[in-house]
Amino acid sequence: MTPAARVQASIEILDAILAGAPVEKALTNWARRSRFAGSKDRAAVRDHVFAALRCKRSFAALGGAETGRGLMIGAVRASEDELGHLFSGERHAPSPVAEDESSRAFSSDAERFDIPEWLWPRFQASLGDQAATVAEALQSRAPVHLRVNLLKSDVENAIAALEAEGIRAVAHPACDTALEVTEGARKISKSRAYADGLVELQDAASQAVVAAVRLTPGMRVLDYCAGGGGKSLALAATEGVDVFAHDVNAARMRDLPNRAERAGARVSILSTNELSKQGPFDIVLADAPCSGSGSWRRAPAGKWALTEARLNELTDIQTGILSSISGLVSTGGILAYATCSMLADENGAVVDAFLKDNPNWSERFRKTWLVSHGTDGFFTSHLTR
């Protein structure tokens, strides 16, 4: 495919997404219809689509319309590339840009920085003088991070194993086990280092959330909102720790047994009914459902799907989780609350409300990671009684 044909394909996919199709489904449907597209074409089109979704408001302003075509015109204008070269109308290229497809000035900082208008005041209140810097970081692609599995390797040997397969990685300062991939990221899933469990795909801040709980042999640890099990595996990489995983939707953990086997880790999966029988636990980690604002670079559709009503619903869920799991923590143990959000509504406000309602609990630790620091956005707080 020519660069112009890739732009036209991106326009069609974006139109499907704007009409309500899930992002991955729209990309998959296009790929099935376009057997002629090679792996580089599919990767380039995917990059176009995700860039347009990250910057949907600003690209729409630059492109004159919130349509697939408008977003791609805006993308080209934002990159200061030549519109005539890509929008020529020749062969599979989109038609030339018309005079009425002109850019317009941004109507607000929220539009300039690609944040929903209703959310911008909360975003600013949460991040203060970092709001613009963080919003700009959300407009760009996220780095690829790996966790070195200390059950099978160490940082130096993992870097060497990846290098042997054309994947370059360097240590990331957010966590001792974290690597940032600087070259060859698309090779990871088929690499021997990954298949043999030397490394796992996991954001550096997500790793740091686990590292912050300071595990020691003999501890019993529950990953309450385990999802796919990334944090469960990171917890289980400390020898001598008994790790249990739970999720209210057990189907989310379906791949965890195979992932644990590959990693050489032991993780016991618990149903909701089994929690009280197995408790109490020395540490209960709850990476609660949230807006995902810290990972909007990876899942940009979530930024535009979030509403004020949904945010309020999420804070109610988070409050309920803290209340329901506090009884699973042993006296003197740690309830580690976490979100992949940078919004104060879901972070400090939820913790502060819990502490106000439960004066026998206190906070030992609190930390926020921002996307502008080179990781996903995360928050964690350690509570004890």
Q: Does 192 share its domain with 220?
A: no
* Of the candidates 347, 294, 290, the residue with the CA atom closest to the CA atom of residue 174: 294
Distances 56 to 70, 146, 245, 374 between C-alpha atoms, Å:
10, 29, 37, 22
Q: 127 in a domain, yes or no? A: no
Q: Does 303 share its domain with 161?
A: no
Average pLDDT, the chain: 96
* pLDDT value at 196 more than 90: yes
Q: Does 52 share its domain with 160?
A: no
Q: Does 252 share its domain with 340?
A: yes
251: CATH:
3.40.50.150
What pTM did the predictor assign?
0.93
- Segment 190-208 shows an average pLDDT of 97
Q: Among 87, 105, 123, where does a domain finish?
A: 105
Tokens found for residue 34: 């376009």
Q: Does 224 share its domain with 354?
A: yes
365 forms beta bridges with 382
Q: 115 in a domain, yes or no? A: no
- Segment 69-78 shows an average pLDDT of 97
Neighbours of 87 (CB within 10 A): 23
Q: Does 151 share its domain with 265?
A: no
Q: How confident is the model at residue 117 (pLDDT cuts 50, 70, 90)?
A: very high
Q: Does 324 share its domain with 370?
A: yes
182: CATH:
3.30.70.1170
Q: Does 166 share its domain with 278?
A: no
* pLDDT value at 322 more than 90: yes
One-letter amino acid identity for 64?
G
Q: Among 171, 201, 231, where does a domain finish?
A: 201
Q: How confident is the model at residue 330 (pLDDT cuts 50, 70, 90)?
A: very high
* pLDDT value at 356 more than 90: yes
* Of the candidates 53, 89, 92, 90, the residue with the CA atom closest to the CA atom of residue 72: 53
- Segment 84-109 shows an average pLDDT of 93
361 in helix, strand or coil? Answer: coil
Q: 332 in a domain, yes or no? A: yes
Using CA atoms, how far apart are residues 28 and 37, in angstroms rounded to an integer? 12
Residues 34-54: tens digit of each pLDDT: 988 999 999 999 999 999 999
Q: Does 192 share its domain with 228?
A: no
- Segment 370-381 shows an average pLDDT of 97
> Which residue range is the domain that position 71 belongs to?
3-105
Q: 245 in a domain, yes or no? A: yes
Q: 128 in a domain, yes or no? A: no
Q: Does 266 share its domain with 367?
A: yes
170 in helix, strand or coil? Answer: strand
Residues 6+ apart with CB under 8 A from 212: 336, 365, 367, 380, 382
* pLDDT value at 124 more than 90: yes
**Least confident segment among 79-83, 152-156, 266-270, 280-284:** 79-83
* Of the candidates 267, 284, 266, the residue with the CA atom closest to the CA atom of residue 276: 284
* Of the candidates 270, 273, 290, the residue with the CA atom closest to the CA atom of residue 223: 270
Q: Does 170 share its domain with 307?
A: no
pLDDT over 70, % of the chain: 100
Q: Judge contact between 343 and 291, C-beta under 8 A.
A: yes
Total structural domains within the chain: 3
Q: Does 81 share its domain with 162?
A: no
Tokens found for residue 14: 């974006």
Q: How confident is the model at residue 102 (pLDDT cuts 50, 70, 90)?
A: very high
Residue 82: per-residue pLDDT: 86
Q: 129 in a domain, yes or no? A: no
182 in helix, strand or coil? Answer: strand
Residue 35: per-residue pLDDT: 87
Q: 122 in a domain, yes or no? A: no
Q: How far is CA 19 from the centre of its chain?
A: 24
Q: What is the residue-wise DSSP string for 99-158?
A: TT------SSHHHHTT--TTTHHHHHHHHGGGHHHHHHHHTSPPPEEEEE-TTT--HHHH
Tokens found for residue 110: 């929220």
Q: How confident is the model at residue 80 (pLDDT cuts 50, 70, 90)?
A: confident
Q: 133 in a domain, yes or no? A: no
